[in-house]
Structure 1
Amino acid sequence: MKAVTTTQVSKAGTNGHPVASEALPAAVRPAIPVGAASDLLIVDCDIHFTPDPKAIERRLPQPWRSRWESGSRGAGGSGYWNPNGVIRRDTRLPDGRYIDTDPHAMAEHHLDRNGITYGMLNLASFTFAVTPESDWGAAIASATNDTIIEDWLPVDPRYRVSMLVSPVDPVLAAKEIRRVGRTPGVVQVLMPSATPMALGRR
């Protein structure tokens, strides 16, 4: 999650878009500093979030669900981890979870607090993309897309989604785009560059 400088506009946008002050709940508006008149919106283009693994698991068909349950969720890592973690401590909720795991908490503690008009949800991990098994990677991408669209997108109208595809198989990637690409709120395709082979394989 990135820090965003907030600005509130004082007039309606000339392009017909709602200004930031109109797009936010009334209780939040007084906390946002007033700036010069503008028709610009405040967009966080890179909100890293973590969907519930159990929710993804429920949407995986067999035999992929059994593999996911066993702990195989894409390619492995180096085994070296940051001992202090990589998530800001002040984003931890009272129950121990972090706001990147809860769409309601993300909206309250980030979108509301920082006056964000739209927030682009980008998955934090792409390990599925580097699996050499095309069908496995595509299955994870599909189940993850369904989880985001069904569990995150309806929570707040400010959310926008980067749908996922596995770049290992272009045919399966195109099939996934045709399946969910026209879903309202899905605005772009996120294709990881970490692949087993160079894209194009030349």
Structure 2
Amino acid sequence: MAYSPLVGYKDRKNGEGATDCCQWERVECSNTMSRVIALDLSDTYGGEYWYLNASLFTPFQQLESLDLTDNKIASCVENEGIERLSRLNNLKMLNLSGNSFNNSILSSLTHLSSLRSLNLFWNRLEGSIDVKELDSLRDLEELDIGGNKIDKFVVSKGTTNTIKNANLYKLAGFFAIWFIILQV
């Protein structure tokens, strides 16, 4: 399925189409270089579930924040997954909440070493999640995986991740931190 999330964006000043994307709603550009640094594409697609081609974002080399919340993303196009975002060395915030990603997304995320904030709230994560899968995200400070059907959040011995603010509530119904298991 072809889908361009930026088609139809309006000039934020007068509502007309604009060729300068820095004038578009939901697009933030740097003041110094007029490069796109933030894309808020939350809740922009209301059709059927679809597959994301993450390569579409690789031209935005200065991108720091990408919000794809509530877009009915089922997964990614084969060989064009979230790991493609690893080319974006400045990407610090990725919000994938309210989509339909399953546990396979975790292996794709390991390539995004610059991330500080990752939101996977209300997806289709389930079962046991080993934080070691996110160990390569050394700068990760915030992780939101609430609203999923996770039975266990396992912190293995030798894990070096220093997540400072993790929303782990609703791991399995009303349970929370009690499901964190330290594997020695």
TM-score band w.r.t. shorter chain: 0.3 to 0.5
TM-score, normalised by the number of residues in structure 1: 0.31
More strand by share: 2
Relative CO higher for 1 or 2, CA cutoff 8 Å, sep ≥ 6?
A: 1
More helix by share: 1
TM-score, normalised by the number of residues in structure 2: 0.33
Pair member with larger Rg:
1
